[in-house]
């Protein structure tokens, strides 16, 4: 049914050239009650008991050897993983419950089928031979017999991708008959690939606009997806991975849905494998949740600018180039105070972002999607109707606004 590889040397097979590069990431978050698995997979004091979880992810760098990372960043109890497999999804599609016959492979941890992820930690699997093409889908199936004995579950709720839950160990099944579909990712935080030395990654730090609110479920049409498609289409950028490290409601300065950017920078960017560039596209939630008074908005704008400077300094220390993206309009949204106080903060922060010397380069998302006749608003054809979030065409416009020349290979 599937093979069980033995443990391999940490750098890959003997004689293998190259390095590990993250090819997919999902920013870990504490699962809110409304995003926990539905009954019967969540009980009063435990979750995922005797449950198989199957999910698909789109990888952005290819290779012949892979490994996985599972996160228990927000767990307050150990997370036991009884069995894990990888496979190619049926038809190569996102969000499907079936896998291609003959593609299932058993994943091991220090040579064992089972492992336990300690509280607040992550576990990296053994690496195994598995052919992946850049831009293809990977199916990861995990089974936990005893489940996590609390409701503090680590996940990425805004997956915009369908996953499947079913009782019993079905990690070796070609399809999950009668499974329950959920549009969330759980437990899995990274897929890495052993890639040629020249392969590098760009990490994108953002909020719901980068996480893809308004995009198509199982459509892979968030703006980082569409930006990756552009990179992949050009020979000189086809070996660059794109890592989406975003979460809805995220903020630069204060915790929201997930830790603030300054708190998560080390975990989500500086420690990720193979990162050479960082795109920072955050700040609208900081402005929008601060009081609509001149004093509060002056303070949040000052603090945002200082926060951006901290990101640049810390990334530069590791040789990572940082590109600042301007904050897009929000008139007509709940963040719009009517008097333009928050809009003034957005304009001030954007003016700082655009000033040469603050970032290594500027990506002007504001200019790309604003309505020229009302620059405090998004173009109507590019948004979902709430004045803040974009539709797939709007995300295409964002992706097109990123200059490809910023990502010349540094290998």
pLDDT(11) > 80: no
pLDDT band at 44 (very low <50, low <70, confident <90, very high): very high
Q: State the pLDDT confidence band at 10, using cuts at 50, 70 and 90.
A: very low
Q: Tell me: pLDDT of 5 over 50.
A: no
Model pLDDT for residues 395-408, shown as the tens digit of each residue: 999 999 999 899 97
pLDDT of residue 4: 44
For 78-95, the pLDDT digits (tens) are 999 999 999 999 999 999
pLDDT at 6 over 50: no
* Residue 12 half-sphere exposure toward CB, CA atoms < 13 A: 18
Q: Is the pTM of this model over 0.75?
A: yes
Nearest CA to 388 among 222, 157, 254, 214?
A: 214
Over residues 21-39, the pLDDT tens digits come to 999 999 999 999 999 999 9
> What pLDDT is stored for residue 17 in this prediction?
65
Is 299 in contact with 290 (CB distance < 8 Å)? yes
Confidence of residue 272 (pLDDT cuts 50, 70, 90): very high
Beta-carbon neighbour count of residue 309 at 10 Å? 13
Q: Is the dihedral of CA 260, 263, 266, 272 positive or negative?
A: negative
The full DSSP string for 40-108 is: TSB-SS-BSTTEEEEEEEE-SS-EEEEEEEEE-TT-SS-EEE-EEEEEPBGGG-TT-S-B-TT--EEE-
Q: pLDDT band at residue 14, thresholds of 50, 70 and 90? A: very low
User: What pLDDT does 256 receive?
Assistant: 86
Predicted local confidence at residue 404, as pLDDT: 84
The number of beta carbons lying within 10 Å of the beta carbon of residue 255 is 12
> How far apart are alpha carbons 182 and 403 in whole angstroms?
36
Q: What is the pLDDT of residues 213-225, one digit of tens each?
A: 999 999 999 999 9
- Residue length of the chain: 411
Highest averaged pLDDT of the listed ranges 1-5, 11-15, 361-365? 361-365
How far is the C-alpha of 135 from the C-alpha of 368, rounded, in Å?
Answer: 26
Please compute the mean of the pLDDT values over residues 346-350 and round it to a whole number. Answer: 98
pLDDT (0 to 100) of residue 12: 43
Question: Contact, 39 vs 47, CB < 8 A?
Answer: no
| pLDDT tens track for 280-311 | 999 999 999 999 999 999 999 999 999 999 99
Specify the range with the lowest mean pLDDT, choosing from 15-29, 164-178, 234-248, 366-380. Answer: 15-29
Residue 375 in this model has a pLDDT that exceeds 80: yes
Q: Name the 3-class secondary structure at 124.
A: strand
Residue 3 has pLDDT above 90, yes or no: no
Contact partners, residue 115, CB within 8 Å, separation at least 6: 80, 81, 109, 123
Mean of all residue pLDDT scores within the chain: 95
Q: Is 241 left (phi over 0), alpha (psi -120 to 50) or beta?
A: beta
The confidence score (pLDDT) of residue 409 equals 57
Mean per-residue pLDDT for 322-348?
Answer: 98
The pair of three-digit structure tokens given for residue 364, joined into one six-digit string: 């002007």
Q: Which two tokens stand for residue 340?
A: 């333009």
Q: What is the CA radius of gyration of the chain?
A: 21
């Amino acid at each position: 049914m599937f093979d069980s590889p033995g443990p391999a040397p940490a750098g890959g097979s003997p004689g293998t050239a190259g390095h590990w590069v993250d090819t997919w990431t999902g920013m870990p978050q504490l699962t809110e009650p409304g995003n926990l698995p539905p009954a019967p997979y969540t009980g009063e004091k435990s979750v995922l008991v005797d449950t198989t979880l199957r999910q698909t992810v789109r990888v952005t760098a290819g290779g012949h050897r892979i490994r996985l990372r599972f996160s228990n960043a927000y767990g307050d109890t150990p997370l036991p993983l009884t069995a894990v497999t990888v496979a190619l999804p049926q038809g190569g599609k996102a969000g499907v419950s079936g896998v291609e016959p003959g593609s299932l492979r058993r994943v091991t941890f220090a040579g064992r089928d089972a492992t336990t992820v300690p509280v607040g930690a992550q576990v990296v699997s053994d690496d195994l031979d598995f052919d992946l093409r850049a831009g293809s889908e990977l199916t990861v199936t995990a089974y936990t017999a005893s489940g996590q004995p609390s409701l503090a579950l680590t996940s990425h709720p805004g997956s915009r991708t369908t996953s499947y839950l079913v009782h019993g160990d079905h990690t070796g099944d070609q399809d999950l008959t009668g499974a329950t579909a959920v549009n969330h990712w759980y437990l899995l935080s990274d897929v890495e690939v052993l890639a040629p030395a020249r392969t590098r990654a760009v990490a994108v730090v953002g909020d719901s606009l980068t996480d893809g609110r308004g995009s198509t479920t199982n459509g892979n049409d968030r703006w980082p997806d569409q930006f990756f498609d552009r990179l992949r289409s050009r020979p000189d950028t086809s070996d660059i991975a794109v890592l989406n490290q975003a979460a809805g409601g995220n903020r630069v300065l204060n915790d929201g849905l997930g830790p603030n950017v300054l708190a998560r920078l080390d975990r989500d960017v500086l420690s990720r494998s193979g990162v050479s560039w960082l795109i920072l596209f955050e700040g609208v939630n900081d402005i929008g949740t601060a009081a609509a008074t001149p004093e509060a908005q002056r303070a949040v704008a000052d603090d945002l600018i200082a926060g951006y400077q901290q990101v640049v300094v810390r990334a530069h220390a590791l040789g990572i180039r940082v590109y600042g993206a301007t904050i897009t309009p929000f008139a007509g949204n709940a963040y719009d105070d009517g008097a333009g106080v928050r809009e003034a903060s957005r304009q001030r922060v954007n003016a700082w972002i655009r000033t040469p010397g603050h970032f290594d380069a500027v990506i002007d998302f504001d200019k790309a999607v604003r309505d020229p006749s009302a620059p405090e608003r998004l173009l109507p054809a590019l948004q979902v109707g709430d004045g803040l979030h974009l539709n797939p065409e709007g995300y295409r416009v964002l992706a097109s606004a990123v200059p490809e020349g910023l990502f010349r290979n540094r290998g």
